[in-house]
Amino acid sequence: VDCQLNLYFSKKSFFKCALHSCYSSLVLFFIPYAAMYDTVRDDGKDIADYQSFALLTQTCLLFAVSIQMSYWTAVNTIFVLGSLVMYFAVTFTMYSNGMFTILPSAFPFIGTARNSLNQPNVWLTIFLTSILCVLPVITNRFLMIQLCPTINDKAKATPAPPTQRARIRRTSSRRSGYAFSHAQGYGDLVTSGRFLRRPALTRSSGFTHVGRTTTSFSPMGRSAGYSPTGRPQNNKVPNVEVTSLQMYRTITDSAP
């Protein structure tokens, strides 16, 4: 549905993405710049040098993108934390004495990680920058979920009622539509596609109506008006048009 609504690659979404990138770039440079301006370490030595500044900016970037995850599942969390750990491991290795001794011209950043990452100033800057980068994203997501929820969001929000479904299944499992051999059968119902429930308010405009409308429904036509539970099966959606299939057992009702 989202793809049908051109939600992912339209000019509007591109513009939103570009705006977010501009904002992030500005934050990721200017916050460390202002924090490092005229600053020194807590023992008086240099911290505003080229290499420490570069390390600070790249660490801010990593934290900012790691926090911007959409779904914090267990696997996702493990991999994100793992990649952060890998980043620090590689950084400390590259900036260690050993690598410098092997190839001095390739590893000029020696000592930078040790000397700058033990400053509370640096960690506070990293924390501030990542929070500031992530803030609009989280606010946007929250507002979108609250004010214009998509079908996926609503589906995630409503819990599935399992008991009702199980009960329906069991009572009618012994009955098959083919027992009603004296009736027409389901042939034209299936081929017309009307077994998909039609919405009363057309939110997703992708569906077109195929086949007969329900105005021609006659309870005598299909199974002599018999229905397994004797009542309409979805009480929560009163404004959905009653299709003939609602009188039959269906699995496609309340639980998505």
16/18 Cα distance (integer angstroms): 5
With contacts defined by CB under 8 A, how many residues of the chain interact with other proteins? 63
129/62 Cα distance (integer angstroms): 11
Q: What are phi and psi of 91, to 5 degrees?
A: -60, -50
**Among residues 120, 162, 187, 230, the one that binds other proteins under rule CB under 8 A:** 120
Cα–Cα distance list, 89 to 94, 126, 129, 145, 197 (Å): 9, 18, 22, 38, 55
Contact string (CB under 8 A) for other proteins, positions 129-158, x = contact: --xx--x---x--xx--xx-x-x--xx-xx
The answer to whether 132 touches 27, Cβ cutoff 8 Å, is yes
Smallest distance from other proteins to CB 17, Å: 22
**Among residues 24, 115, 243, 244, the one that binds other proteins under rule CB under 8 A:** 115
Contact string (CB under 8 A) for other proteins, positions 5-34, x = contact: --------------------------x-xx
Asked if 2 touches other proteins (CB under 8 A), the answer is no
Asked if 104 touches other proteins (CB under 8 A), the answer is yes
- What DSSP letter does each residue of 110-177 carry, written as one string? TTHHHHHTT-HHHHHHHHHHHHHHHHHHHHHHHHHHHHS--HHHHHHHSPP-HHHHHHHHHHHTT--G
Burial class for 234, CB neighbours closer than 10 Å (0-12, 13-18, 19+):
middle
Contact string (CB under 8 A) for other proteins, positions 32-51, x = contact: -xxxxxxxxxxxxxxxxxxx
**Among residues 24, 52, 59, 243, the one that binds other proteins under rule CB under 8 A:** 52
Which of 228, 153, 161, 237 lies closest to 197 in space, CA to CA?
A: 237
The residue assigned the tokens 């042939």 is 187
34/130 Cα distance (integer angstroms): 15
Asked if 92 touches other proteins (CB under 8 A), the answer is no
Q: Which stretch binds other proteins (CB under 8 A): 120-128, 166-174, 182-190, 212-220?
A: 120-128
Smallest distance from other proteins to CB 35, Å: 5
**Among residues 82, 111, 161, 219, the one that binds other proteins under rule CB under 8 A:** 111
Q: Which stretch binds other proteins (CB under 8 A): 10-18, 179-187, 195-203, 224-232?
A: 195-203
By CB under 8 A, the residues from 160 to 189 that bind other proteins are none
SS3 207: coil
Asked if 239 touches other proteins (CB under 8 A), the answer is yes
Interface residue list for other proteins (CB under 8 A)? 31, 33-54, 97, 100, 104-105, 108, 110-111, 114-115, 119-121, 124-125, 128, 131-132, 135, 139, 142-143, 146-147, 149, 151, 154-155, 157-158, 197, 199-201, 203-204, 207, 236-237, 239, 256
